[in-house]
Amino acid sequence: MSLFYSFAMIVLPFLPGFDGYFLHMQNECRFTSGDLKDAEIISRYIFNKVEYLRYNSTANKFIGYTEHGVKNAERANKEGENDRQHTNLGTCKLNAENELQHILVHSVQPSVKVLSVKSGSQRHSTMLVCSAYKFYPEGLKLSWLRDGKEVKTDVTSTEELYNGNWYHQIHSYLELTPKSGETIACKVEHSSFSEPKIFKWDPSISDGDRNKVIIGTSGLVLGLMLSLAGVIYYKKKSTGRILVPTS
């Protein structure tokens, strides 16, 4: 486990010209294991992308990286600013513990889809894809069942892909020539499920067909509504017409 936890960020842009200058300070609470033994605070002082000064709680001192930074580091260490910064390590550990207890123990169930896609192979007519989206944490296993028996051949799978937002996704492909009456399903194993979940493939509707049905139905409904409106309008007009009496 490797965690990077940045708990505060102060951004101070100064914009005298069009390009401007950018000073920012970044506090990081870093740890690599759940026991937080190696937790450390890193405070970075960055001007125009150059980190000129850093406080490191493990070394308990400021370190300068430019001439200006070195001067500031010397002064801060002499004045005991390092010891004052060190007191924040307790808060860092407390926050980290909180995150570990309340966030990392949680899991999020995947949303799963089993669809047919165009097969690229000569041997089989059909390619199915089983996709699991937005699950947390990683460690999800997909497998294919034909009438309840696991299929190992003609199966390819992607790696677990990280979405960049705590969530992951994974896709598994099965090439086959379906027989009538058989059941094809995708088995999903994940820590968010108490037991493996089975998702059946519904061969009657592919995703493309479903869209065509939705578009067709919407068109039909719209058409009916318009013709109904037309009929009502026509009726109103014809009943509202005053007949000129013939004398």
Ligand X SMILES: *[C@@H]1O[C@H](CO)[C@@H](O)[C@H](O)[C@H]1NC(C)=O
The footprint of ligand X (CB under 6 A) covers 42, 56, 58-59
Residue 56 or 119: which CB sits closer to ligand X? 56
**Shortest Å, Cβ 80 to ligand X:** 19
Residue 35 or 159: which CB sits closer to ligand X? 35
**Shortest Å, Cβ 85 to ligand X:** 13
Residue 44 or 168: which CB sits closer to ligand X? 44
How is residue 165 written in tokens? Answer: 């937002």
Distances (CA, A) of 105 to 26, 225, 235: 27, 53, 67
Rounded distance between C-alpha atoms, residue 184 and residue 201, angstroms: 6
- Give residue number: closest CB to ligand X: 56
**Shortest Å, Cβ 38 to ligand X:** 9
**Shortest Å, Cβ 78 to ligand X:** 19
**Shortest Å, Cβ 12 to ligand X:** 22
- On the CB side of 214, CA atoms within 13 Å amount to 7
Residue 54 or 190: which CB sits closer to ligand X? 54
**Shortest Å, Cβ 91 to ligand X:** 18
Residue 59 or 225: which CB sits closer to ligand X? 59
How is residue 91 written in tokens? Answer: 């808060």
CA nearest to 137, candidates 115, 90, 170: 170
How is residue 94 written in tokens? Answer: 């407390």
Burial of 78 (0-12, 13-18, 19+ CB in 10 A): exposed
Residue 55 or 136: which CB sits closer to ligand X? 55
